[in-house]
């Protein structure tokens, strides 16, 4: 298939692009490089363009004869979305409408959307697809709006759409060629590993009084290569005129303190901690139920142990202490 990976120079998008090319699909990354990295994309596979540039999207899809769009491009920081919701509505919602309009104009019928467990808000775990969706921050709400838009466009224009709701993406490629590199970095595992490398003095724990066994937030950490595998699988399970949805999690909850302790064991390094107040918009527990994905897609996470996730990330960070910026 000929596949356009929108946001394909970013973290999850680049790993998905790598898997597509390894499995002999003809795939290109479309990215404005505001958060992605040119170095994460193989030579000749990057198209530089903005999500809001509908005309360029149309031209790109027609020129390359695109069959499927994988949509990863978004702003994705919960805290930032609370103080700058304008950026999140413009990029996530308006940008996605631009992409959908381009697909309709270019007669591209298939789209897989990178959604998030944040659409559910604070609900008891494990989180299934049919639970109420009540996001508690603008980031989650913009993703929910996009899911609704996908369903409406699918019904009106006979699109085939899927929303894959991630929990916490993490880890790095098995061959060590690409990994996680954000600026600024906000994800726990790379921050912890930066402390291990001596690049930060400490890691902050935001909130130690949550109703969890050790008082810190619990999350479901899903390896980025498992997420890439799910994208390939769902392409063959799309339905005309419909949006299908799947939660992608391991079903295993890991607390902030457990991540830090595991990183200490994996790296053999002391990792200093500073305890700080809770952040706005952080639920105590987010843990997924991926039984629907197993039942319908044959997908389940292979990297369920947090040690395996951190080992892959540590290998990347050791080999690339400055990330993609050599």
Question: Domain holding 62: CATH number?
Answer: 3.40.50.720
How many domains does the chain contain in total? 2
21 and 85 together in one domain: yes
Both tokens of residue 122? 């604070």
Alpha helix stretches (DSSP H) within the chain: 11-22, 54-64, 78-83, 85-88, 95-106, 138-157, 188-196, 224-235, 256-267, 291-297, 306-319
57 and 85 together in one domain: yes
Check: CB of residue 110 under 8 Å from CB of residue 69.
yes
Looking at residue 286, its pLDDT comes to: 86
| Distance, CA of 63 to CA of 56 (rounded, Å) | 10
Tell me: the pLDDT tens digits for 249-304?
Answer: 999 999 999 999 999 999 999 999 999 999 876 888 889 999 999 999 999 999 99
* Residue count (the chain): 326
10 and 64 together in one domain: yes
- pLDDT of residue 326 exceeding 70, the answer is no
Within a domain: 324: no
Looking at residue 52, its pLDDT comes to: 98
Global confidence as pTM: 0.95
Within a domain: 202: yes
Within a domain: 290: yes
- pLDDT of residue 121 exceeding 70, the answer is yes
Tell me: the pLDDT tens digits for 68-99?
Answer: 999 999 999 888 998 999 999 999 999 999 99
60 and 147 together in one domain: yes
What is the domain range of residue 243? 2-170+221-248
227 and 215 together in one domain: no
Mean pLDDT of 310-320: 97
Band (pLDDT 50/70/90 cuts) for residue 183 is: confident
Within a domain: 181: no
| Distance, CA of 176 to CA of 256 (rounded, Å) | 25
Burial class from Cβ neighbours inside 10 Å (0-12, 13-18, 19+) for residue 208 reads middle
Provide the terminal-to-terminal Cα distance of the chain, rounded to the nearest Å.
Answer: 34
**Backbone φ/ψ region at 33: left (φ over 0), alpha (ψ -120 to 50), beta:** left
194 and 229 together in one domain: no
206 and 110 together in one domain: no
The alpha carbons of the chain give a radius of gyration, in whole angstroms, of 19
23 and 78 together in one domain: yes
Beta pairing partners, 111 = 69, 161
Q: At how many degrees (to 10) do helices 138-157 and 95-106 cross?
A: 20
Within a domain: 175: no
Active-site option among 11, 139, 166, 246? 139
88 and 233 together in one domain: yes
Check: CB of residue 153 under 8 Å from CB of residue 100.
yes
Looking at residue 99, its pLDDT comes to: 98
139 is catalytic: yes
Within a domain: 177: no
Looking at residue 219, its pLDDT comes to: 95
């Amino acid at each position: 298939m000929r596949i356009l990976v929108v946001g394909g120079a970013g973290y999850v998008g680049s790993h998905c692009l790598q898997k597509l090319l390894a499995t002999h699909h003809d795939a290109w990354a479309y990215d404005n490089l505001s958060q992605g990295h040119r170095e994460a994309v193989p030579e000749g596979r990057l198209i530089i363009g903005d999500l809001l540039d509908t005309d360029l999207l149309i031209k790109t899809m027609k020129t390359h004869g695109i069959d499927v769009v994988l949509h990863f491009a978004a702003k994705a920081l919960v805290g930032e979305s609370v103080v700058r919701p304008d950026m999140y509505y413009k990029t996530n919602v308006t940008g996605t409408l631009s992409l959908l309009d381009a697909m309709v104009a270019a007669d591209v019928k298939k789209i897989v959307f990178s959604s998030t467990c944040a659409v559910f808000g604070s609900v008891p775990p494990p989180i299934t697809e049919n639970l109420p969706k009540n996001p508690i921050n603008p980031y989650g709400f913009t993703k929910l709006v996009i899911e609704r838009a996908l369903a409406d466009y699918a019904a009106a224009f006979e699109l085939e759409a899927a929303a894959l709701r991630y929990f916490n993406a993490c880890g790095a490629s098995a061959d060590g060629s690409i990994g996680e590199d954000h600026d600024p970095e906000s994800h726990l595992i790379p921050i912890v590993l930066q402390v291990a490398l001596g690049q930060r003095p400490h890691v902050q724990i935001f909130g130690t009084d949550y109703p969890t066994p050790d008082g810190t937030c619990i999350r479901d950490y899903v390896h980025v290569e498992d997420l890439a595998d799910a994208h390939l699988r769902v392409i063959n399970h799309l339905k005309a005129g419909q949006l299908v949805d799947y939660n992608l999690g391991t079903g295993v909850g890991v607390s902030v303190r457990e991540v830090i302790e595991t990183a200490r064991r994996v790296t053999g390094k002391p990792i200093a901690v500073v305890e700080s107040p809770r952040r706005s918009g952080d639920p105590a527990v987010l843990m997924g139920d991926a039984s629907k994905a197993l039942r319908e897609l044959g997908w389940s996470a292979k990297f369920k142990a947090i040690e395996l996730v951190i080992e892959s990330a540590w290998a990347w960070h050791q080999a690339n202490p400055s990330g993609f910026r050599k």
